[in-house]
Structure 1
Amino acid sequence: MRRTSFANWPCSVARTMDLLGDWWTPLVLREAFYGIRRFGDFQRELGIARNTLSERLRRLVEAGLMEKHVYETQPLRHEYLLTESGRDFHNVILAMTSWGDRWLAGEAGTPVVTRHASCGHDAHADVVCSHCRQPMEWADVTPRPGPGYPAQLLNRPDVRRRFHLDGAQDPAASERPADTEA
């Protein structure tokens, strides 16, 4: 069965999900962040089938998130190292962890805490504006087409509604807090 590809959609969420493809891929990356590098160690830590792990590692190497390096020649064995792109995915894992800790942690509390070495405190990820450093919350952001959005799609009514290009009211505006400035 062939799955639908989102690789060429004009949406970074869709493209990222196309790369991830399933629940095993982020877990393989999580283990890599924990320091796992070798096939057998990934398999043992995750309890994942060999063929599934082989496919996930192949996909991560092809996508440029990991590199495959020989660590033994007789027999030939490889380890998988995070690339710059792969290390940058850590922020995605931290954001997922932060959400899961808030909404899915049981009464005992969060299962894993993240220690920030720079300040020595346990911390969680916050998404902040790269310009003003204020938290970016759903009620305070508006999506709009960027320079990579296909120009031919901008005339479609559904796209114009999504980005409020006709001055249409944001359907979620009624759920957002009103502006309190005078």
Structure 2
Amino acid sequence: MADAHADPALLLRDFVNTLNIDAGTEGLARPGDLAGWLAGRGLVPAGTAASDGDLRTALGLREGLRAAMLGNHGRAAAADAPDLPAELEDALGALPLRVTLAAGPHPALRPAADPGTAAAGLARIAAAVADASADGTWPRLKVCHEDTCLWAFLDTSKNRSRAWCNMSTCGNRTKTRAYRARRRASAGDRPADG
């Protein structure tokens, strides 16, 4: 199967966003949801089945990617990169990948599994991490700092300092909470009228 998604960063963002924490919706609740999501993005042929094990791997991969993207905030250099979350390490270790030189001018990771399996689709998502790293977009993949959101986004700001998926909602929530906390703290410091 050909490389199904032209932009690896957007594929990774969309995969992480299959769980909408703020709205409380899970896009990968059942194995069939996973199979449909993978097929809908051209990562596996239509009609590909997914098992409970594939779904567990997918959820570990997704939440591990979310944690890794959270680590992309404020990362000055690759040397500062934290260890990968254990769930991400486990999911990546379970996916069959191989290095190929036939993919173009540079070596690339490709699924080693039968292309008609959910594991191959998940391996394509894992390979997108390497592709995003190679094209420089991986450090720009972040998740919203608002802990009730954690929505993945691509930080396109010039100085790579964006912290929220949307300043008008999540940024405003965070700043309002901080302001109220400061007001409460300063009110607690005032002497009581006697």
For the aligned pair, the TM-score class normalised by the smaller chain equals: under 0.3
Structure of larger gyration radius: 1
Higher relative contact order (CA 8 A, sep 6+): 2
Structure 1 or 2: more helix by fraction: 2
Q: TM (normalized to structure 2)?
A: 0.27
